[in-house]
């Protein structure tokens, strides 16, 4: 269960894995250092696909983007607006307690990096309120997904062109 219910900003169908990855790439174009994206969804919902699209849009094409399921976190150096920033991709599925997140650098990530967090519910009360919730659920077809974006602060303004960019309008 999500500890905070931010304002729903956008809900859209994603036809396939390629569109899910493209959604991640578009999100990458509007993030800033310090942003936290909580990736919600069941096993196989497309969280890692979206994260790969996000990371692939900001790091060199030759960089592999493995799932951090066993390492719990992977980091990637990137540049946004001429500023160096580290992308932290967390997969917290295997955490037994929220406090274990401190051992993999979650405080450092929140302070200056960009955080993509799969299984954010494992953080409980440690999950910051200031974030973008990215929820993926099954769509109407085998490979399709339903994407819901929810957040507060300046996220509504930052997401204003998201749908048009995703649909190529």
Per-residue pLDDT of the chain (169 residues; tens, 9 = 90+): 454 556 888 999 999 999 999 999 999 999 999 999 999 999 889 999 999 999 999 987 666 666 665 567 889 999 988 889 999 999 998 888 889 888 888 898 999 899 999 999 999 989 999 999 999 999 888 889 999 999 988 999 999 999 999 998 7
Q: What is the pTM of this model?
A: 0.89
CB 10 within 8 A of CB 159: yes
Q: What is the pLDDT of residue 1?
A: 45
Q: Quick one: pLDDT at residue 95?
A: 85
Place of tokens 């493995």: 66
Q: What is the pLDDT of residue 105?
A: 85
H/E element holding 77?
strand 73-80
Place of tokens 């953080």: 123
* Integer Cα distance of 19 and 15 in angstroms: 6
Strands across the sheet containing 73-80: 8-14, 145-151, 132-138, 36-40, 114-118, 83-91, 73-80
In the chain the domains, ranked by start, together with CATH numbers, are 8-86+103-167 (3.40.50.300)
Task: Kindly give, in sequence order, each residue whose CB lies less than 8 Å from that of residue 56, ignoring residues fewer than 6 positions away.
Answer: 21, 24, 25, 63, 65
Predicted local distance difference test score (pLDDT) of residue 64: 62
C-alpha distances in angstroms, 91 versus 73, 137, 141? 6, 18, 26
State the pLDDT at residue 62.
60
């Amino acid at each position: 269960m999500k500890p905070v219910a931010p304002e729903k900003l956008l809900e859209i169908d994603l036809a396939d894995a390629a569109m899910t990855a493209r959604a991640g790439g578009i999100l990458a174009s509007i993030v800033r250092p310090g942003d936290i994206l909580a990736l919600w969804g069941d096993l196989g919902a497309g969280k890692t696909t979206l994260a790969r699209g996000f990371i692939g849009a900001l790091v060199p094409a030759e960089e592999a983007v493995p799932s951090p399921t066993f390492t719990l976190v992977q980091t990637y150096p990137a540049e946004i607006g001429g500023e160096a920033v580290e992308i932290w991709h967390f997969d917290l599925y295997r955490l037994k307690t929220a406090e274990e997140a401190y051992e993999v650098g979650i405080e450092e990530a929140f302070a200056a990096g960009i955080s993509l967090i799969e299984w954010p519910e494992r953080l409980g009360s440690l999950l910051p309120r200031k974030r973008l919730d990215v929820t993926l659920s099954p769509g109407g077809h085998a490979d399709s997904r339903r994407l819901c974006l929810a957040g507060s602060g300046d996220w509504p303004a930052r997401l204003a062109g998201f749908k048009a960019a995703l649909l190529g309008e």
